[in-house]
Amino acid sequence: MGKKKDRKTLENVSESEMPAIQAILQELYLKYQPLSEGKLASYIPELAKANPDWFGICIATVDGQIYEVGNSDQLFTIQSISKVFVYGMALEEHGREALLTKVGVEPTGDPFDSIIRLDDYSKRPENPMVNAGAIATTSLIKGNNPTDRLNYLLDMFRHYTGHDMFIDMSVFVSERTTGHRNRAMAHLMRHFGMIDEKIDDALDLYFQQCSVMVNCHDLAVMAATLANRGVNPCTGKRAVAACYIRDILSVMYTCGMYNFAGEWAYKVGLPAKSGVSGGIIAIVPNQLGIAVFSPPLDSRGNSVRGIKVCEDLSRRFELHMFDSPTACEHPSDRLSPHPQHLDT
Ligand code: GLU
């Protein structure tokens, strides 16, 4: 895609070739739909009500073309994928240097809800993609009162999707009632002076941002907006300042896939973010956004089908950011640069 001039890539297809992309998504859907591995997230009780068969794939290009298959219009809560967009909002409000004093950019290698490092090291959450860092980031969103802040946040999401956004109240209440671990983190961060005294307000806003309803189509457009340097390719309106795309994609690349982030970067090679409701977004900068939705999760909290689809797309279209145009010398690695034949 874009890197090898002689290869067919997703962004240089002509109108007549569009059905081919649609056909590939259809093929991926049929290939991975039968997978039965993975478990629904249940630590937020409401999430356990999802249908494990839901499966949608959507690609949105920076020129506004959409390709989608399966349950791409099924609504679900955005969960951790929201962290990416709230991080962008905090960057715009506070600037990079001020934000860095409150939230770092270092991958943890730990589960998303780990609390241990907070106490161990700098007292500053390691990055904005784990829960501690995300709660600290959300606590920085400005507004006169909780309603203002929520509306401001929903408005930010509206710019990314191009339509009004709503909260799933039952998921919000479910998480708010059971989110003791997140509460513990917030109180520890308050103890260290990393967040202010309005702890419950910050937590409520965090639980609300995780409960924003999206579908796979929305997520692909949101991902394509990041790929398009902050401009929604469907509305032509800016959702986030172009200068912060670099910051957002960097933390997505190093920290976006829970404690699978290193392996993901190595294998798929794209900035991405995953959420416990089964969504994954991946960004091919200046080209397109990919979104997959399928609720059953692996042991690290990533959608099983989502990982498979993204690995497959990355191989087929050589999407890895560091793909080489030349083949490897070693016989076992010589399959590149024809990775579309690698399908297992
Ligand atoms: N609302 C979830 C939590 O804080 C987000 C988790 C996730 O999607 O990684 O537990």
Q: Six-digit token pair at 302?
A: 């990533």
Query: Going by C-beta distance under 8 Å and a sequence separation of 6 or more, which residues neighbour residue 111?
Result: 258, 259, 300, 301
Angstrom distance (rounded) from CA 196 to CA 202: 9
> Would you call 130 helix, strand, or coil by DSSP?
coil
Positions annotated as catalytic residues are: 80, 83, 206, 258, 276
What distance in angstroms lies between residue 211's CA and the mean position of ligand 1's atoms? 10
SS3 31: helix
Pocket test for ligand 1, best of 42, 47, 76, 79 (most atoms within 8 A of CB): 79
CATH class of 7-340: alpha beta
76 CB near ligand 1 (under 6 Å)? no
Domain boundaries, the chain: 7-340
- Residue 15 scores a pLDDT above 60: no
Has residue 341 got a pLDDT over 50? no
* The two three-digit tokens of residue 92, written as one number: 């715009």
pLDDT attached to residue 2 = 39
- Residue-wise pLDDT for 75-91, tens only, equals 999 999 999 999 999 99
Question: Which element (helix H / strand E) includes 217?
Answer: helix 216-227
Helix (H, G, I), strand (E, B) or coil at 339: helix
Please report, rounded to a whole number, the percentage of residues in the chain having pLDDT higher than 90. 81
* Residues 125-177 pLDDT 10s: 999 999 999 999 999 999 999 999 999 999 999 999 999 999 999 999 999 99
